[in-house]
Structure 1
Amino acid sequence: MHMFILRRMKLARGTSPWLIPVAALTAAAVAGSRRSRSWAMAAPLLAALTGMMLWFFRDPERQPAEGGVLCPADGVVQSMDPAPDGRTRVSIFMGPLNVHVNRAPCSGTVTTIEHIPGGHLPAFDKDSERNERVVWHVNTRLGDLEFIQIAGAVARRIVPYASVGETVRRGDRIGLIRFGSRVDVYLPPGLMPAVSLGQHVRAGRTPLA
């Protein structure tokens, strides 16, 4: 049964540097458990860690929902704040059990992708805006759409899937934040959020605006 599940489970791109060493160590522990008590004690813990990482890095297929702008991340709507330029910032907090693959909120052409080094505070901390992040700008039929992938205390690596000049469709996979973190979307002026504070949302499935 477990092997059947693993064969059907799709894993996110960019997980190999984390997953392969842990899986290899688990295999070594299982192989050495008959000869060593230390390996026998470590094997169940390593197997559990491997299982957790497989769950963290899952990448399920999803059919984009109908409508306008979509949520780019799985998680909980943490805040909705007006920006000085008339836009509305919607922040989605990603917990460690959420899918960590992010999706394009709207169709368009990627105009800029900027990696900004920074700290690694918990993503729910207001000062996490100073964390390491990747800022996206996409030229859409609604105008420029900005969204930001923010690394957290555990998530210390953001892996973009798209590149500047590439056309993305709403719901396309655009990147991965390893483990939990946060994604901010700046809705253009005139767009009202279709979500509420505390709402659980799914990337590519929940209408954002």
Structure 2
Amino acid sequence: MIRFHKEGYKIIVITFIIVIAAILLAEKFIDIIWITKSIQILALAFLIIVLQFFRNPKRLTELNETTIVAPVDGKVVVIEEVEEPEYFKDKRLQVSIFMSPINVHVTRYAMSGKIKYSKYHPGKYLVAWHPKASTDNERTTIVIHNDNFGDVLYRQIAGALAKRIVNYAIEGEDVVQGTDAGFIKFGSRVDLYFPLGTKLNVSLGDKVKGGTQVIAEK
């Protein structure tokens, strides 16, 4: 059974109404068959695109305090040591996962622990792979702490198409690895910042699966 994320319910209902209206109106007011059928096919295709974007497949996370799972589906586009300027203000190991519009866009908690920091930043909508997207784009920054990894930061970053980031992380809250942490609408990326020396299980170009695939371990 296909499941849809709650952030998409309103958009799905509105899209469904618009599509049905377009199909019926085309049938009633357009006499040229090929134009009628083209409009109806395009309307149905649009509905399918919206449905697939908001799909929320069930993922069974094997809980493990010594591993970090991918928070989203996508492609690993950055692995490097960088200066993290907002929270740590020192060097960290950054791993960035880019999500295309066809990926599942649910954000899941990469590890269990306590939320130490959660902040929203308004910003630009540069393409998600732009070098300055991490600091200039609309984004949220969340830090989770557990005894094995210490503090791990992840950042939801809006892209050229993403116009809304949904973040469920609340400071002081205990969260469980693999559970729903939010949603990014219409394509973007997530950056993670690990302590230096963290063992990674992914390489540049790897495609990862959110909530189940281990990307780092202690």
How high is the TM-score relative to the length of structure 2? 0.86
Runs (5+) with no aligned partner, structure 1: 1-7
TM-superposed CA distance for 1:162, in Å, is 3.5
Residue in 2 that maps onto 1:4? none
Residue number in structure 2 paired with 1:183: 190
Deviation at 1:58, TM superposition (A): 0.4
CA shift for structure 1 position 190: 2.9
Greater shift, 58-67 or 149-158, is seen at 58-67
Q: Which residue of the partner structure matches residue 116 of structure 2?
A: 111
* Contact 2:23/2:43 (<8 A) preserved: no
The range that moved more, 148-157 or 18-27, is 18-27
Mapped partners of 1:110, 1:60: distance in 2: 25
Is residue 29–residue 40 contact of structure 1 (8 Å, CA) maintained in 2? no
Residue 69 of structure 1 corresponds to which residue in structure 2? 68
Q: How does 1:5-154 map to 2 (within 5 A)?
A: 8-37=1-30, 41-65=38-62, 67=64, 68-84=67-83, 85-129=90-134, 130-141=136-147, 142-154=149-161
Unaligned residue ranges in structure 2 (runs of 5+): 84-89
Q: Indicate if the aligned counterparts of 1:65 and 1:207 stay in contact, CA closer than 8 A.
A: no
Task: Give the distance between the partners of 2:19 and 2:36, measured in 1 at CA.
Answer: 9
RMSD: 1.7
SS in 2 for 1:91: strand
Question: Which position in structure 1 is the counterpart of 2:87?
Answer: none
**Residue 200 of structure 2 aligns to a residue in which SS?**
coil
1:161 and 1:28 mapped to 2: Cα distance?
A: 35
Name the one with the larger strand percent.
Answer: 2
Q: Are 2:208 and 1:201 aligned?
A: yes
> Which 4+ residue blocks in structure 1 deviate beyond 3 angstroms?
38-41
TM-score with structure 1 setting the length: 0.90
Whichever residue aligns with residue 119 of structure 2, its letter is E
Tell me the amino acid that sits aligned with residue 24 of structure 1. Answer: I
Structure 1 stretch displaced more, 60-69 or 178-187: 60-69
Which amino acid is 2:101 matched to? P
Q: Cα deviation per residue 1:21-78 (whole Å; 9 max; x = unaligned)?
A: 2211001122323312176543321211110110111000011146501111110000
Q: Percent identity at matched positions?
A: 35
